[in-house]
Amino acid sequence: MYSYSGSYMEYDTYLGHKESTVPYSINSCGYIRIDSKDVSLNRTRRDFYVIYLINGAGHYIMNNDTLTAKAGSIIAYWPDHHQNYYYLALDNPEFYWIHFTGSQAESLMNSLGFSGSGFYNIGIHSELIALFEKIIHELQIQKMFFHSLCAGYLVQLLSSFSREVASLSSRNKTPADSGMENVITTMNKEFQRDHLIEYYARICSLSLYQFIRNFKKVTNYSPAKYIEKIRIAKAKELLRDSDLSITEISGIVGYKDPFYFSKVFKKESGIPPSEFKSQN
């Protein structure tokens, strides 16, 4: 059985369409499942081509070597790079694919760390599959502004790919380093509370000294300074966007003494909160 779903926008579905009048444009996107017939392809296209293998295996010939990719792999081809690959029915491959182009497509790929055609391992993630399905749906239905929506989904998809690649490549992180994400999330949620630093150290299961050292390594700030910066950033937001008094804002962001709040604000921002409010 050969199952296919997808949609095309391009004129030449074999060579691909190259677009330079818009930042991002999707030529085609789809899903394929192969379980009864071997499939092979040998071509060169003018657009970017990304495959997300979600089941089975695929076999790709690059630099005269045949490389086998397993489920959870991304295979990326840059424009004008030769594409030579095959799928065996006995491997039961399933994959999503997308062809895209645009004046900023290359700079986006470079900025996300995809420096050329190759393989990347990220694992299987339902949210990435959902993004492919959204793109396919928009290309099929073509409601108002579907081009813009598809471009947004494309950037989100590629950025998510890059994040997963970077996450999996950080194998040398210690459990304490990994726990810093939880600490930073907690600090942003509970910045108004006067937690002791030991409270955050316990989240990472570290001693106070180890926690402070590792936190500085990750953020370049001490825990107290980091919380202070969160509070001042929130205070600036309230000063700009609300009619609350400085005393009220001081209490909201975690400072019981408005005079001390003003002192910290001026030290961090260069001007007192009253002047910041009048300027904004």
pLDDT tens-place string over residues 199-227 = 999 988 889 998 998 888 888 889 999 99
Query: Is the pTM here over 0.75, yes or no?
Result: no
Please give the mean pLDDT across all residues of the chain. 87
CATH number for the region 2-169 comes to 2.60.120.280
In 56-139, the DSSP E strands lie at: 57-62, 65-70, 73-77, 82-87, 94-101, 118-121
Q: Mention the CATH class of domain 175-279.
A: mainly alpha
Fold: same for 2-169 and 175-279: no
User: What does the pLDDT read at residue 277?
Assistant: 87
Percent above pLDDT 70 for the chain: 91
List, in sequence order, every residue forming a beta bridge with 85; answer none if it has no partner.
41, 60
Parse the chain into domains and list their residue ranges. Answer: 2-169, 175-279
| Residues 214, 204 contacting (CB under 8 angstroms) | yes
pLDDT band for position 1 (cuts 50, 70, 90): very low
Q: Which residue has tokens 């999330």?
A: 185
What pLDDT does residue 12 have?
A: 59
Counting every residue written for the chain, the total comes to: 280
* 172-201 per-position pLDDT tens digit: 454 445 578 788 888 988 999 999 999 999
Output 265 or 165, whichever has higher pLDDT. Answer: 265
Q: Tell the burial category of 169 from Cβ atoms under 10 Å away from its Cβ (0-12, 13-18, 19+).
A: exposed
pLDDT in tens, 52-98: 999 999 999 988 889 999 999 999 999 999 999 999 999 989 999 99
